[in-house]
Amino acid sequence: MQQTIVKSLLGACGALVAAGSLGAAKVNVYPARHYEGDAALYDAFTKETGIKVNRKEGKPEELLQLIVAQGNASPADVLVTVDAGNLWRAEAAGVVQPVASPILSARIPAQFRDPSNNWFGIAYRVRLIAVALDQADKLNVKSYDDLAAPRFKGMVCARQSSNIYNLSLLGARIGADGAAKAQAWAAAVAGNFARQPQGGDTDQLLAVASGECKVAIANHYYLVRLQNSKKPEEQAAAAKIKAVLPDQDGRGVHANISGAAMLKSAPNKAEAQKFLEFLVSDTAQAYFANGNYEFPVVASVARPQVLTNLGEFKTDTINVRVYGENQAEAQKLFDKAGWR
């Protein structure tokens, strides 16, 4: 199945190359982000710079396989994807190259970019704890550690352990606390499950709203989407949930990124660097904040009201590279902990 998908993408790449072969300035982008506002973002880049953006979309793992299969002949200039773990996988596969850019270094906090400049965070998300509103005072959730407490027996909903968001969360805990404590936490949380891990982040939120569980972990923008949905039933579900940004008295809430990297085989390096730098411009940062409700990595960019409604908070300052470095270990610990 994966080979069929890669062959299909390889065929489509021929059309991508042909589309950009007329001599005009161009950048070939492989995006694994499929958010509504991103198309307008690419159009804004072209309008500002005159550089055409050619795109070949796919899932993170499919695009990485494609880039590896294409090798030095790849037309791809930039990979855009979600989660630091996926960016680390691309680096580990040897397909990215470092970019020395004073603009990127100045505008992106150190925690949200690779220390060797192999890839860069362009927006970030936090992994909040969704709590049933009618139980919030009683449950008094303040930390991820609370979810491991015996009093939460039969109350927790979660995604499967193989989900990269969960791998990154546990990878961060390995980096901060060590493997033994990380495994103990995962085992205790798994022992508190209300059901077997299943579904995506939105499914966890809806399970809290329906009463199937009392608490769940989800990226913040999934809740904001429900809150701002045009569907009354989704707004009603969101109204039954209290968002907790945990560990404000400790390390801070777990933060992850959407990010981008220049490919090692990039045929349009100058244009690719301009594209990367555009992604951290005020214009692009506003697209991320308003289009998908992600937080801007550039601190000076104003957040829309839907994000300020979450309140002020601090994030864990551990470098997101740790998520990828500890990814394989995180999966082993999840398996040992019984979190399937």
CA atoms within 13 A on the CB side of 168: 29
pLDDT of residue 21: 46
One digit per residue, the tens of pLDDT, for the chain of length 340 reads 444 444 445 554 544 544 444 468 999 999 998 777 788 899 999 999 999 999 999 999 999 999 999 999 999 999 999 999 999 999 999 999 999 999 999 999 999 999 999 999 999 999 999 999 999 999 999 999 999 999 999 999 999 999 999 999 999 999 999 999 999 999 999 999 999 999 999 999 999 999 999 999 999 999 999 999 999 999 999 999 999 999 999 999 999 999 999 999 999 999 999 999 999 999 999 999 998 999 999 999 999 999 999 999 999 999 999 999 999 999 999 999 999 9
Which pLDDT does position 37 carry in this prediction?
72
CB 272 within 8 A of CB 77: yes
Q: What pLDDT does residue 24 have?
A: 85
Q: For residues 88 and 113, is the Cβ–Cβ distance under 8 A?
A: no
Q: What is the CATH number of domain 2-124+255-308?
A: 3.40.190.10
Same fold, 2-124+255-308 and 126-253+323-337: yes
Residues 6+ apart with CB under 8 A from 1: none
Q: What is the DSSP letter of 25?
A: -
Q: Which pLDDT does position 156 carry in this prediction?
A: 98
| One-letter amino acid for residue 265 of the chain | S
Domain ranges (residues) in the chain: 2-124+255-308, 126-253+323-337
Name the CATH code of domain 126-253+323-337 (choices 3.30.70.20, 3.40.718.10, 2.60.120.10, 3.40.190.10).
3.40.190.10
pLDDT at 20: 45
pLDDT at 34: 75
